[in-house]
Amino acid sequence: MSFKKYLKLYVITDRRLKPEVESVRQALEGGATAIQMRIKDAPTREMYKMGRELRKLTREYDALFFVDDRIDVALAVDADGVQLGPEDMPIEVAKEIAPSLLIGASVYSLEEALDAEAKGADYLGAGSVFPTKTKSDVRVIGLEGLRRIVESVSIPVVAIGGINRENAREVLKTGVDGIAVISAVMGADDVKRATEELRKIVEEVLG
């Protein structure tokens, strides 16, 4: 079975909102199908240790595990993949040095999406669909921008940016393979319940 079905509810950590281990456990309990460790400005050793813990947890729950930005950490903790943005390791180089990893490419336009697909990305994280307070200065592509990307590539697409339980349905109806969320889950008082609610919507639309 391909990895695509694991992209449907992709939850990303944010230590400014919740400590990683307990929040990831709750998200997995609530039905997250993939987890991304996204830590900015921490020592590599700390990322490695956290990555090992989250790798263990995601295995227990049969979820995929991705590391944001850091191909070295992804390899060291035996993650399933790495998420690479425009400032990170070029996709074609990442594929060469880490052929075992799934490569997710972060894209903010149709041009970037086509380029990432041509360079061999395994899936796209496309956004920001809506305005978001979680990441500064991101381009907002809207539902139409997202739809154009989905219709133009043949690799799986995960939508990201400002997605919550109010707008998740319309996002999913653009034809994406999944939604990626930070604040809708990590900013909730009850992480497990917030994840369950999103998973229910995902199941209703994607099946």
Ligand X SMILES: Cc1ncc(COP(=O)(O)OP(=O)(O)O)c(N)n1
CA distances from residue 89 to 68, 85, 86 in whole angstroms, order as listed:
11, 8, 8
Question: Does residue 136 have a cis bond before it (omega within 30 degrees)?
Answer: no
Q: Answer yes or no: 152 catalytic.
A: no
- Identified binder of Mg ion from the candidate list 3, 52, 78, 85, rule CB under 5 A: 85
What single-letter DSSP state applies at residue 183?
H
- Identified binder of ligand TZP from the candidate list 26, 134, 174, 195, rule CB under 6 A: 134
**Closest CB 107 distance from ligand X, rounded Å:** 8
- Identified binder of ligand X from the candidate list 16, 49, 56, 135, rule CB under 6 A: 135
Query: Which tokens go with 179?
Result: 């939604």
Report the C-alpha gap between 25 and 71 in whole angstroms: 23
**Closest CB 119 distance from ligand X, rounded Å:** 15
Question: Does residue 106 have a cis bond before it (omega within 30 degrees)?
Answer: no
Stretch that binds ligand TZP, among 57-65, 73-81, 97-105, 125-133 (CB under 6 A): 125-133
Q: Does 177 bind Mg ion (CB under 5 A)?
A: no
Name the binder of 64 from Mg ion, ligand TZP, ligand X, none, CB < 5-8 A by kind: none
- Identified binder of Mg ion from the candidate list 9, 55, 57, 69, rule CB under 5 A: 69
Closest CA to 191 of 5, 13, 8, 7: 13
Stretch that binds Mg ion, among 65-73, 127-135, 157-165, 178-186 (CB under 5 A): 65-73
Q: Tokens 């200065």 belong to which residue?
A: 137
Q: Answer yes or no: 135 catalytic.
A: yes
* 78 versus 165: smaller Cβ distance to ligand TZP: 165
Q: Tokens 């281990």 belong to which residue?
A: 21
Q: Residue 163 in contact with residue 182, Cβ under 8 Å? A: no
Other C-beta atoms closer than 10 Å to the C-beta of 96 total 10
Q: Does 132 bind ligand X (CB under 6 A)?
A: no
Q: Which residues are catalytic?
A: 38, 106, 135
Contacts with ligand TZP, residue ranges (CB under 6 A): 127-128, 132, 134-135, 138, 160-163, 181-184
Binding stretches for Mg ion (CB under 5 A): 68-69, 85
